[in-house]
Amino acid sequence: MGDTARLVNAARAAKLRVATAESCTGGMLAAAITETPGASSVFDWGVVTYSNAAKQALLGVSAATLDAHGAVSVEVAAEMAQGALAHSGADIAVSVTGIAGPGASEHKPEGRVCFGVATARACSTELVEFGARGRDTVRALARDHAIALVIGAIKELES
């Protein structure tokens, strides 16, 4: 059984709904979940907010946070996840924002991806350095990592 099937089965068993807020993955996470049979019972809402303006308009990410930390930051990932949770009917929201490449800077290297996971209980964030492994690889790794984070959040909510 693949990770998305594990996610769907675990969320269905726990009667939980999932939302996604994506930037660098461009919808890959939502697509992976919805390709899985049974996803309609657990997938509530997904949005791709590639621009800062979209992050602000659709998820309520603050201009001050974007100015202070940049789009690729755990602070923005947290606000994206919290916004997705607030705007959806989901129990768990996951966000992904990063630099898949090319186009890195000295302070934000290619392969840096920030994740947020929000539930009614808490919001957690994680920064992962996947390295300069190419755009397609970084995006796929980010998608897979986000799926694992949602599975972990489901387990936490069940405990």
The answer to whether 131 and 112 have CB atoms below 8 angstroms apart is no
Q: What is the pLDDT of residues 108-138, one digit of tens each?
A: 999 999 999 999 999 999 999 999 999 999 9
Domain range list for the chain: 3-158
Query: For the domain 3-158, what is the CATH code?
Result: 3.90.950.20
95/77 Cα distance (integer angstroms): 6
Helix (H) or strand (E) holding 95: strand 92-98
Characterize the bridge pairing of strands 92-98 and 18-22. Answer: parallel
Quickly tell me which residue has 């920030």 as its tokens: 114
> What does the pLDDT read at residue 1?
59
Q: What is the pLDDT of residues 3-44, one digit of tens each?
A: 999 999 999 999 999 999 999 999 999 999 999 999 999 999
Q: Is the dihedral of CA 87, 47, 138, 157 positive or negative?
A: positive
Supply the pTM of this predicted model: 0.96
Give the alpha-carbon dihedral of 25, 98, 130, 5, to 10 degrees. Answer: -30
95/93 Cα distance (integer angstroms): 7
